[in-house]
Amino acid sequence: NAGVTQTPKFQVLKTGQSMTLQCAQDMNHNSMYWYRQDPGMGLRLIYYSASEGTTDKGEVPNGYNVSRLNKREFSLRLESAAPSQTSVYFCASSEYSTGPYYGYTFGSGTRLTVV
Amino acid sequence: KQEVTQIPAALSVPEGENLVLNCSFTDSAIYNLQWFRQDPGKGLTSLLLIQSSQREQTSGRLNASLDKSSGRSTLYIAASQPGDSATYLCAVRGGGSQGNLIFGKGTKLSVKP
């Protein structure tokens, strides 16, 4: 009954380092999403994958890349971390992107600090 | 561009009160609206999902209403408890090929014993 699992839960990076945030869901959902949450800004969409094999940019994609590894897994990569990427990152999944009647399920988040 | 606003930003009430949280959105062409709860340092827990064709949804002490034509939703919490203290987020799922979820900034609720 795991739902959406994110790893790691916490991470501290130095400016310029790279890392990959992992996300996996066990609900057989087609669509997966990456959001970031910042104080005063709310949650903003970084990238999404409507179905296996497709990815698209959201509202704030600069500085990030994604990979939809298979139906279960959707990773977010920071190639050269910057302090502006200090945030809490949430992964989510939903049944269909183009079938809009389903809700989203969120993971517990990754708290990333870039120093 | 869809914008979601939640008022008030923060609310403090004594235990036992009934309360209403408000959410408004600028584009009424939505597919559904979802209310979430977020505890400090935690993820988002889905509370209620209302389809655009529905007027309200209920779960226990929670009742969410939707007036799509006026771009408004309310979350009603009956007989509030200290355990209800959290941030409540409203999000709408828009139209088009993306249909992605757009969030308000939340209402931080504190229920005092």
| Tens digits of residue pLDDT in B5-20 | 999 999 999 999 999 9
Please write the tens of the pLDDT for every residue from B53-71: 899 999 999 999 999 999 9
Q: How far is Cα of residue B93 from the mean position of the Cα atoms in its chain?
A: 13
Q: Which two tokens stand for residue A6?
A: 């994110």
Contact A63, A53 (CB under 8 A): no
Interface test with B, best of A27, A93, A94, A104 (most B CBs within 10 A): A104
At residue B45's C-alpha, the angle toward residues A47 and A35, to 5°, is: 15
A 10 A CB-CB count for B70 gives 10
Q: Which residues of B touch A101 (CB under 8 A)?
A: 31-32, 51
pLDDT at residue A1 in the model: 61
Chain B interface, Cβ < 8 Å to A = 31-32, 34, 36, 41-46, 49, 51, 89, 91, 93, 95, 97-101, 103-106
Q: What is the rounded distance in angstroms from the CA atom of residue B76 to the CA atom of residue B107? A: 13
Q: What is the rounded distance in angstroms from the CA atom of residue A10 to the CA atom of residue B93? A: 29
Please confirm whether the linkage preceding B40 is cis (ω < 30° from 0). no
Q: Which residues of B touch A50 (CB under 8 A)?
A: 98
Note the maximum CA span of chain A.
41
Q: CB-CB: which of A41, A58, A109 is closest to B100?
A: A58
Q: What is the rounded distance in angstroms from the CA atom of residue B7 to the CA atom of residue B106? A: 8
Report the gap between the CA of A40 and the closest CA in chain B (Å): 7
Which residue of A lies nearest to B93 if distances are taken between CA atoms?
Answer: A100
Please answer yes or no on whether B44 and A100 come within 8 Å at the CB atom: no
Please answer yes or no on whether B100 and A45 come within 8 Å at the CB atom: yes
Residues (pLDDT < 70) of chain A are 1, 96-101
Q: CB-CB: which of A42, A98, A111 is closest to B105?
A: A42
Q: What is the rounded distance in angstroms from the CA atom of residue B21 to the CA atom of residue A59? A: 26
The amino acid present at A6, given as its one-letter code, is Q
Contact A56, A99 (CB under 8 A): no
Report the gap between the CA of A13 and the closest CA in chain B (Å): 19
Contact B48, B2 (CB under 8 A): no
- Residues B79-106: what's their mean pLDDT? 87
pLDDT at residue B96 in the model: 53
For β-strands A10-13 and A110-114, DSSP reports them as: parallel
Residue with tokens 């209402």: B107
Distances in whole angstroms, Cα of residue A51 to Cα of each of A58, A95, A96, B16, B89: 15, 9, 8, 45, 26
Please answer yes or no on whether B105 and A97 come within 8 Å at the CB atom: no
What is the percentage of chain B residues whose pLDDT exceeds 70?
A: 96
Report the gap between the CA of B42 and the closest CA in chain A (Å): 6
